[in-house]
Each structure stands twice: as structure tokens, then as C-alpha cells.
Chains A and B, each alone.
Chain A
Amino acid sequence: MVENKREPNDYVAQPPWKSPIALSLVLHGAILFFALVGWSWSTPSHEPPPRNISARLIMPEPQAPPAEPAAQPKPQPPAPEPEPEPQPDPEEEARKKAEQQAQEQKRHEDERRKQILLEKKKAEAAAKAEEEARKKAEAEAKAAAQRKAEEERRKAEEAQKAEQERRRKEAEAKAAEEKRKAEEQRRKEEAERKRQEQKERERREAEKRRQERERQQREDQLAALATEAQQEQAAAAQARKEAAAAARARDARMASESEKYEALIRERLSNAWYIPSSAQKGLVTTLEITLLPTGELVSVRITKSSGNSAFDNSALSAVRGVQRFPVPEEQDVFNRYFRTFSIQFDPETL
């Protein structure tokens, strides 16, 4: 069948279809073909439209050979059309006859063709109706299927979406949960931290308070001690002060007493000292003298020489020239100041 369909030109080239049988066969075959093909075409529910177009293509073929314009502009009977055309063959006579025959035949043929066409139309209409019904059914089925599929798909999608949504929600919920948990954890930790800090702060403050308390205690103790000590010191200081005052008074008395005698000694020594003419400014002789409580000279020695023997001798002579040094009768004053003392001979007026 496939071959038939594919080789329409063979029919045109060969004259077998001259016979009505052949034509009939062809016609039937065509019908069958169409039916089959249409069935087969219809079966695949996917592409039904191109069936009709193919039929039309066949139609112009039979019309082509005769010069006569196709009486039937209808596209349905394309296949039988070419068959009558190849008949114009023999000689003149023959040809006329033949033409007659042919016309006759043609008339018959047209008759028949009309018949066929009619039938065919009927069949076609039936087929068409059937086809349409089928198509419709198919379409409906298909639509139904489609709808169903669509529905299913939609459902699936919806389900999927729902699933996704669910998952998302789950995830979100989970995330939220986790977040919440984390947050909670964080809060907990924060709280814990704060609690710890608070605790530490409190501990420190407590420590501080404790230290402060201790310090205060110590200070109090120290203050108490200090006060005590102060009182003691004050007492001691007072005692010392009194003692010092007494000592000062004694010292002052002794000092003034000693000063009196120092002045006397100076006068005696100055009167006894004859500064030698070789003395120059800067010459200094220091002597240490030791006296008896009676004022008598026990000893005199040079502790620092001037380097000028005449000058040194003049100092020694001056000391020796004082017969009896004026000294205080009071023994502690004498012992403090005059038992042993130094004299510096240091001329200023040269």
C-alpha cells in the first residue's frame, strides 16, 4: 500500500488502468488506501491534518493529460483522471473511431465516474463523518487524555509544588526552627554570658568591697595605731622637747658662758701675739691647746703650720705668753669647750 501511494506516476506512465477493472481496482484500492491510510493516519493521534492535503495532490494528476479542462474542479478524483488521457493514440481513422469509442467510453466513464464519485463522495462523506467522529472522538479522547494528562501533570506539578512547598516550608520551618534554636541557644549563651559576667562583676564587686572593707579595717587599725603612736610620740616629743628645751637652755647658758670666756681668751691671745713682719695675707697657723681646769696651759702643738716658721713661732709664743687662760669655773662648760680647743692665727689686716 505504501508502494501504491508512492508511485502514482507509474500509473500514469503505464496504461493498465485503461481497463475499468483496473480503474475499479484502483478506485477500490484508492478507497482502501485512503481508508487504511486515513486510519493509519488517524491512529496516530498526533498529526491528522496533512491527510487531506495529500488527497488533493493526487487529484490534479488525472486531470493533467486531457486537454480538456477538468470538469470536476474537485480534488477528490485525481487518480482516475490520468487513465483516460493516454488513450489518444492510433491513426486518423482509427483515431476518430477511437475517439468515438473513447468519447463513448468516456461518457460511460464519466457516468461511471460520476457514480464512483458519488459513491466515493458518499464513502468519503461517510468516511469523513466517521473520520470526523473518530477524530472528534479521538480529539475528545485526546483532549480528555490531554486534560487528564494536563490534570495529572498539573496535579503532579501541584503535588510537586505542594511537595516543594511542603519541603520549602519544612525547610523554612526547619531553618526557622534551627534559627529559633540557634537564637535560643544564642540567647541562652548570652544569658549565660551575662549571668557569668554579672556573677563575675558581683564577685569582683564583692572582692572590692571585701578589700575595701579590709583596707578600711587596716586603715582603721593603722589610724588607731597611729593615733596611739602619735599620742605616744607626742608624749615622747613633749618629753624630748622639754628635755631639749632644758638642754638648749643649758646649752645656751653654757654657750653664752663659753662665749664669755672665748672673748677673754681672744683678748689675751691677741695681746700676746706679735705678728712678724714677714707675715702675709693667707698665712694661717692652727694650734691645739689643752688646759687644766685652772686655766693653766698643759700643752700646745701646731696642727697646721703656715709654712713660715717665724709666723708659727709667733703663734706658739702668743699662746705661751698667756700665763693663765681665763676659763669658766663650771666644770661641764670647761670640759665641753675649754679642756681642749683650737686656735687659728689668721691675720686679716695685712
Chain B
Amino acid sequence: MMRVIVTLVLAGLMALPAQAELLIRITEGADNALPVAVVPFGESGGVQVSENVGQIVRDDLAMSGEFKPLETSRMLSLPSSSDDVFFRDWRLLGQKYLLVGQLSPGDAGKVQARFELFDVNREQRILGATASAPANNLRGLAHHISDRVYEAITGNKGVFSTKIAYVTLDMENDKRVYRLNVSDVDGKQSRVRLKSNEPILSPAWSPDGQKLAYVSFETGRPAIYIHQLSSGDRTRIAQFPGLNSAPSWSPDGESMLMTLSRDGNAEIYEMDIDSRRLTRLTDHWAIDTEPSWSADGDELVFTSDRSGGPQVYAMDDDGDDMRRLTFGSRYNARPRFSPDGDHVFYVHQRDSSFHIARLNIETGEETILTRSKLDESPSVAPNGRLLIYATQQEGKSVLAVISADGGSNYILPSRYGDVREPAWSPFIN
């Protein structure tokens, strides 16, 4: 992608020299991240701010991997409205886009942000808007602005206002402490939702982003719970004999896939959440587990060792049309559909390393996305552009964000030791 390859189309260049209009065809662009200048937001009206909104936006855009924000120290001027923008300055700095904004006191103690996005080359404003948030949620306000800027430039919906759920493990007083956390996508504003001395596994977001399902061993046996985030209410929906694991919400939020061994072997079931009625979807002597729905709910992918080792399979939502998807190595597991359903992300073992891989379902093409050694638990951002996964860094487990095509790599900071089992939330209104 870094190479610049251009195909030239000289329609009739030689044959009709006088009348021919030259056509130059550009097939690849600069693979550099887009230079964007996010000017520190101005403050007016005695607004009290506890966060550097401009900085948060700058970090968001940088995390996406698609932008390369200009360092503030290099800026020639710090305009906060269009009146103060001199495009020539930004052009000289090689900037393609310019974001300026101003914070001011809003209604009911909120902070209001006015912001404008300019195309430096065209010397044109392409976005101008206002937004407001409680003074204690300026990060949320900043993520909102990031989403708007991102969408205006790339055409894709931004995911900076979405959340990440993950599980941390710490040793406290020689005891294992498991925490279920929910944070912003930049790892900030994390909050512990559940703390236990027994393992917590496999957090899964409800489609509306209001609930989490997970497996907790808090009773000594694995059980599946549904956790209402706003209220903290928890409901245990599955504690059958044997294994109760790998919950996955249906796109309509009304049912859940899970793996149960209540009938003697690990099989995939679908539970109607209201009635708790179970429908068994697989029936095989091998282990079938880690089911996940496609965004349209028509298909699901899962892991099965029916071929002798773990491989990714797909089937219709009624259990028919079973088919194996992965053949690249003897270990492929924990599949997740991309939001558009074109790809499946999964853990792929090569030699002694485990990487995150992406399979193009239509072509069967497999792409290894990560280069670290022990990568696991991929989870896709709702816009399909980013992927979060757990990996090892300096002997500790950390979360990393990668562009879904394998571009940038961003390690999320965490206050805790080992961080595992990340789950990217859906868009949250």
C-alpha cells in the first residue's frame, strides 16, 4: 500500500492527437495516514473544562490508523473559528484537513462545543456543528466530535463513542481477582462491573449495548449471566450440568447462542432469552463451541474439532448447511463475523504462534493480521474498521487495537495486570 502505482489511460492518444482528451487514471493513493491538524479548542465564556478535548480528538483520530495528527507545537497559528483560518499556513504544513473548535458554557451546566472542519486543499469548510455534554463527560463530547470528523472525511461511521468490555486478572492478597471492566475505546473511563475470585469469561454485548452476557464461575460452576449495565442487575440464565459457556447475542437481542454439555458433549444451543427455551443446533461427538452470529442473523460461525483439530465452521441459523471455512492450518478457532458479513476473524496457529487472521469468505483468501506471538480473542468494531484482541507484551497480557486490514496497531493502556477477553460494543445511541 505504500507504493504508488498508477495506471495511465491514454485514450486514443496516438490515433487522434488533436481531439483526444488526456485521461490520467489514479489507482492508488498515498498510503500515509492523512495529515490532519486538530487545533486545541478555544475556550470562551469562562467555561470550566477538565479535559483537553482537542487532544482527545487528536488521539482518537490517531488510533484509527487513518490519520496522522499534526503536533500542536508545529502549528503556526491556533485558530478556533473559520475567521482565523489561513489556509496557506496549513497548506505549508502539508495538512489536508483542519479542525478548529471552541468550548463554551452550555445549558444546564453542560459544555457546548462548536467545531468546524476544513479541507485545506480546497480551502473549504466541510463540517460545522455544535455539541454539548455534561462537564464530567467531556471525553464523551470529544469522542463524539471525533466520530463526526472521522465520518466527514472517511465516509465511515466513527466508533470512538463505543465501549470495550474486558476481563482483568490481578493478584490481591495472594488471591486471584477477576474483574469485568467496561471502558471507552481508548481504554479510558474504565469501570469495573463485576469482581470475583473465580474466573470470568467471554463477555458479550447485547445488540443495544445496554447489557453484557458472560460466564462466571462464582458459584464454583460455570454459569451464564446477563448483566444490565445501567442498573447492575444480573440474571443467571444458564447453569446446566457440565459446561455453560461462550454466550453470543442474536442480532435482534431476543436469543442467545451458547455452548452446553448438558447432553454429554459440548454442543451449540440457541436459547430464547425470555422463555429460556433451548434449541440444540449441533449434534456431533466432537466439541462444537464458540458460536457467533452474523450481523444479519442468517448464519453463525463456530469452532469444532470434528475434523480432528479445532477449525472454523459455518452453518445456517437453524443448524443446516454445515460447512468448514478454514483449512490454512491445524488450529483455527474463535471466529467472529465482520459487520458486513464478508469476512471472518479468528485465531490462527502458525508454527508455535497464534495470530489473528481474516478470511475472505467469498474467495477463501486468508490474511494474517498480527505478528505477535500469542494473540487471542479478536473482536471487531461495529464499523468493521478496527479490531481489538488480547496479546502478550512484556510477559503481561494486554489489549491491542488494529485496523481491520492489518494497518496500524495501538496498545490500549490499562491500569491492571493481565487484560483478556475484550469485547467491542455495538454502536450505542
Bound: A182/B253 CA distance, A: 125
Which residues does chain B contribute within 8 Å of A272, judged by CB atoms? 30, 121
Which residues does chain B contribute within 8 Å of A336, judged by CB atoms? 17-18
How many A residues face the partner with a CB closer than 8 A? Answer: 49
Q: Which of A256-279 contact B (CB under 8 A)?
A: 258-259, 262-263, 265-267, 269-279
Closest-by-CB residue of B relative to A252 is B14
Other-chain contact of B22, A262, A320, A323 (Cβ < 8 Å): A262
Which residues does chain A contribute within 8 Å of B18, judged by CB atoms? 336
Q: What's the dominant secondary structure at chain A's contact region?
A: helix
Other-chain contact of A316, B26, B29, B122 (Cβ < 8 Å): B122
Closest-by-CB residue of A relative to B6 is A266
Q: Given contacts A317-B96, A321-B96, are A277 and B66 in contact (CB under 8 A)? A: yes
Which residues does chain B contribute within 8 Å of A254, judged by CB atoms? 17
Bound: A266/B119 CA distance, A: 21
A-B contact count (CB 8 A): 127
> Does A270 contact B29, Cβ atoms closer than 8 Å?
yes
Interface size class of B (residues with CB under 8 A): 35 or more
> Does B30 contact A273, Cβ atoms closer than 8 Å?
yes
A343 interfacial by beta-carbon distance below 8 Å:
yes
> Does A349 contact B28, Cβ atoms closer than 8 Å?
yes
Closest-by-CB residue of A relative to B385 is A277
> Does A320 contact B17, Cβ atoms closer than 8 Å?
no
Which residues does chain B contribute within 8 Å of A308, judged by CB atoms? 155
How many Å from the CB of A258 to the closest CB on chain B?
A: 7
How many Å from the CB of B28 to the closest CB on chain A?
A: 6
A55 interfacial by beta-carbon distance below 8 Å:
no
Bound: A347/B4 CA distance, A: 11
Produce 1/0 per residue, B1-34, CB < 8 A to A.
1001111111001100110011111111110101
How many Å from the CB of A174 to the closest CB on chain B?
A: 96
B126 interfacial by beta-carbon distance below 8 Å:
yes
Bound: A347/B17 CA distance, A: 28
A318 interfacial by beta-carbon distance below 8 Å:
yes
> Does B29 contact A341, Cβ atoms closer than 8 Å?
no
Bound: A309/B1 CA distance, A: 23
> Does A255 contact B122, Cβ atoms closer than 8 Å?
no
A17 interfacial by beta-carbon distance below 8 Å:
no
> Does B23 contact A251, Cβ atoms closer than 8 Å?
no
> Does B22 contact A258, Cβ atoms closer than 8 Å?
yes
Q: Which of A309-350 contact B (CB under 8 A)?
A: 309-311, 313-321, 323, 336-338, 340-349
Closest-by-CB residue of A relative to B14 is A255
Which residues does chain B contribute within 8 Å of A344, judged by CB atoms? 9, 23-26
Closest-by-CB residue of A relative to B19 is A336
> Does B30 contact A278, Cβ atoms closer than 8 Å?
no
Bound: A294/B96 CA distance, A: 24
Closest-by-CB residue of B relative to A319 is B121
Which residues does chain A contribute within 8 Å of B96, judged by CB atoms? 274, 317, 321
Which residues does chain A contribute within 8 Å of B24, judged by CB atoms? 262, 265-266, 269, 341-344
Which among A266, A336, A345 has the greatest number of chain B C-beta atoms within 10 A?
A266
Give me the interface of A with B, judged by CB distance under 8 Å: 251, 254-255, 258-259, 262-263, 265-267, 269-279, 286, 308-311, 313-321, 323, 336-338, 340-349
Give me the interface of B with A, judged by CB distance under 8 Å: 1, 4-10, 13-14, 17-18, 21-30, 32, 34, 66, 91, 96, 119, 121-123, 126, 152-156, 385
Q: List 17 A-B contacts (CB under 8 A).
A: A259-B10, A262-B10, A266-B26, A272-B30, A277-B155, A278-B156, A279-B155, A309-B155, A310-B153, A310-B155, A316-B119, A321-B96, A321-B121, A342-B22, A342-B23, A343-B25, A345-B25
New A-B contacts (15) at CB < 8 Å, excluding given A262-B24, A266-B6, A317-B96: A255-B17, A263-B8, A265-B24, A269-B6, A270-B30, A275-B28, A309-B155, A310-B153, A315-B26, A320-B119, A337-B22, A347-B27, A347-B29, A348-B7, A348-B28
The 4 closest A-B pairs by CB, nearest first: A278-B155, A310-B155, A341-B22, A273-B29
